[in-house]
Amino acid sequence: MPLLFVHLPTTVFIVNKRYCTVLHVSSRMPREIITLQVGQCGNQIGGEFWKQLCAEHGIAPDGTLKNAWDNPASVNSIVGNNTHTHNRYSTNGNTQTQTQTHGPPQFSSGVSRGGNSHASSTWGNPHIKNQGGNCHHVQADDRKDVFFYQGDEDRYIPRALLMDLEPRVINKVAHTGAYRRLFNPENLFVAQDGGGAGNNWASGYRQGAEHIETILDMIDRESDNSDSLEGFVLTHSIAGGTGSGMGSFLLERLNDHFPKKLVQTYSVFPSWKDQSDVVVEPYNSLLTMKRLTLNADAVVVLDNSALNRIAVDRLRIDNPSVDHINSLVATIMAASTTTLRYPGYMNNDWIGLLASLIPTPRCHFLMTGYTPIVLPETSAGSTPSDNVPGTISSSAGSSTSDNDNRMKQQQQQNRDYNQTGIRKTTVLDVMRRLTQPKNIMVSANMRGKGNGCYISILNIIQGNDIDPTQIHKALQRIREKRHYSHAHGDIPFIPWGPASIQVALARKSPYLQHRHKVSGFMLANHTSMAELFERLLKQYDRIKSRNAFLDNFRKEECFQGSMMEEFDHSREVVQSLMDEYRACERPDYINFGMEGVGVDGAAGGQPDFTSPKKR
């Protein structure tokens, strides 16, 4: 069958054991997504995530639009990349191209490529003119409405609910922080007593039940404000009290209240290799894992130990702070939604993105990778003043200010180079790096035989000068290398399904200056997830065998009389999940869980803990 090449803004390539194909799927406009931030960790991650989204969509901290064309460097980055038909950008805030010509007078910039072209723009309809007088419109389908909506003052407001049982973090994010004017005050929930959950899952679960009607009213108001709601994103930690307990109850009620909507979580997993200050961490994690298994459609695992390792080894930060780690998480979250916010003809559908990654309902725990790794504030190449509303761009100042600004940018670039250690990025290089364990945000052994295999891989390659043929050549090289080194298991795949790497080609934000021409994000389903679950079960069994630290759970009404049964059932669910991931490595996985076939292929049925949610 001949290969089909389609020159599209977003194209998906699939390489399998026998052939490579390029697929074209009809487009569907993306729909709205509501973000639910629960607990201290969830709100800290969410705060960094909204900073990143605002930067990528040209939104100021107060919700107003920033004009990317005010900065000649931004004009140059867009003009210089206008060589392919799929690299067309628009800086207006609406989904349709604006044609107005009124507003501020036209401006022009002397920046050009090779000295043969000049950039000019009107306020509402930016375009590029060359010396011959031809005009090329610079367009991009900038879908701010996926995560934002516009208020009465035309300010952009996040589709986000911030929830916590104590006020400290929410006050910092939404009341005293630089982005305090961004969030809707009606979407902030803090328990009246403000006492928190005390790192106790049972307390967080009980308080979640007490406040669920208020929270559901807030969610209903946001969903009614959406034209076509696609689903929810939940950010939380599984080891604390509020994010784990209240987050667990919220997941259960979302299944009942919105049975047809997609629920994806970004869940921070603790470092079970190290000693934790929270002695009941294994209890909290196990009880939350049951709800993530049964009540979520997809779980993006954010491993604390892997994030710290990447910050130290890849970013060369000796003592990474919480802000550094949260910035890494924000980068991952933003990259995973790029094709939804800057859609083309492909992968502009959230369900379509996840469908090929999750073959069975319970195997929905996904790992991520990113390269080159640069903190968001450095990759933007901006100073803090650039994000403050009302500040004047340095391009409007004196020549001395311009020189100072160029020197600062050069110093920032040098720091970026020292951080990443990567001087040149190509499509092939980025795709190879994405499968390297040092760039993956999960601390599991993935190298060599016997250390698991990939169930599926989705790579999102971001760049403005990428031709689809580069993707095809890179996939061919990876396929050849995989067959050559199959004995070493460099990129092992499941034996019962196609060895497919899906690749989505996405645009970079026109509002940011990017250090690297090509960057890549990987979302993968890998059987080494079972290693994380095994660590959790060992930690749980160690303290549960002595019935240690159970007094705080006994005090809660929801655990009286049925506490042991809840712990036992949660352990069964996690054990079954671990067994299923390991069964995925065998050719007879299709018989897993069937009557008469046990975990190891022997007699004995496997209990079925499928989600009550209709899939």
- Winning range, highest mean pLDDT, from 129-133, 268-272, 484-488: 268-272
Q: What is the pLDDT of residue 120?
A: 28
Distance between CA atoms of 584 and 577, rounded to whole angstroms? 11
Distance between CA atoms of 172 and 149, rounded to whole angstroms? 23
> Where are any strands of DSSP class E within 363-469?
365-371, 454-462
Q: What is the pLDDT of residue 347?
A: 60
Distance between CA atoms of 387 and 419, rounded to whole angstroms? 23
Structural domains of the chain sorted by starting position, each given as residue range(s) with its CATH number in brackets: 34-63+154-367 (3.40.50.1440)
pLDDT, one tens digit per residue, over 477-512 is: 888 776 544 444 568 889 988 877 888 888 888 888
Would residue 196 be called left, alpha or beta, if left means φ above 0 and alpha means ψ between -120 and 50 degrees? Answer: left
Look at residue 63 and give its three-state secondary structure.
coil
Per the listing, tokens 């406009």 go with 29
Q: Which whole-number Å values give the CA distances from 496 to 246, 447, 454, 455, 588, in the listed order?
A: 38, 20, 11, 9, 7
pLDDT, one tens digit per residue, over 206-260 is: 999 999 999 999 999 999 999 989 999 999 999 989 999 999 999 999 999 999 9
User: Which of 121, 118, 101 lies closest to 110 in space, CA to CA?
Assistant: 118
Q: What is the DSSP letter of 440?
A: B
Token readout for 117 is 């072209």
Distance between CA atoms of 570 and 564, rounded to whole angstroms? 10
Q: Which residues, other chains included, contact 500 with Cβ-Cβ below 8 Å and sequence gap of 6+?
A: 14, 15, 16, 356, 456, 457, 493
Share of the chain above pLDDT 90, in %: 40
pLDDT over 80 (residue 332)? yes
Are the CB atoms for 156 and 149 separated by under 8 Å? yes
- Give the helix/strand (H/E) hosting 14: strand 12-15
The pLDDT confidence band at residue 386, using thresholds 50, 70 and 90, is: very low
What pTM was estimated for this model as a whole?
0.77
CA torsion sign, 521 to 434 to 468 to 419?
positive
Look at residue 265 and give its three-state secondary structure.
strand
pLDDT over 70 (residue 395)? no
Distance between CA atoms of 11 and 446, rounded to whole angstroms? 28
User: Which of 432, 481, 476, 423 lies closest to 457 in space, CA to CA?
Assistant: 432
101 or 206, which is more confident: 206
Average pLDDT score over residue span 370-376: 80
Q: What is the pLDDT of residue 376?
A: 56
132 or 565, which is more confident: 565
- Winning range, highest mean pLDDT, from 130-144, 306-320, 332-346, 482-496: 306-320
Q: What is the pLDDT of residue 402?
A: 57
Are the CB atoms for 607 and 579 separated by under 8 Å? no
Question: Which residue(s) pair with 158 in the sheet?
Answer: 148
- Winning range, highest mean pLDDT, from 412-421, 422-431, 557-566, 583-592: 583-592
Q: What is the pLDDT of residue 565?
A: 87
Share of the chain above pLDDT 70, in %: 67
> Where are any strands of DSSP class E within 116-182?
117-121, 126-130, 135-137, 148-150, 156-158, 160-164
pLDDT, one tens digit per residue, over 14-63 is: 444 333 333 333 344 548 999 999 999 999 999 999 999 999 999 999 99
Q: Which residues, other chains included, contact 61 with Cβ-Cβ below 8 Å and sequence gap of 6+?
A: 54, 178, 179, 181, 182, 387, 388, 389
**How much is the mean pLDDT over the chain?**
75
Q: Which residues, other chains included, contact 188 with Cβ-Cβ below 8 Å and sequence gap of 6+?
A: 161, 162, 170, 174
pLDDT, one tens digit per residue, over 147-181 is: 999 998 889 999 999 999 999 999 999 888 899 99
Q: What is the pLDDT of residue 448?
A: 57
Q: Taking the mean position of all CA atoms in its chain, how far away is CA 19?
A: 30
Q: What is the pLDDT of residue 316?
A: 87
Q: Taking the mean position of all CA atoms in its chain, how far away is CA 144?
A: 16
Q: Is 176 exposed, middle or buried (0-12, 13-18, 19+ CB in 10 A)?
A: exposed
Distance between CA atoms of 467 and 36, rounded to whole angstroms? 37
Token readout for 71 is 């900065």
pLDDT over 60 (residue 103)? no
pLDDT, one tens digit per residue, over 60-92 is: 999 999 864 444 444 444 433 433 333 333 333
Count CB neighbours of 495 within 10 A. Answer: 13
The pLDDT confidence band at residue 348, using thresholds 50, 70 and 90, is: low
299 or 547, which is more confident: 299
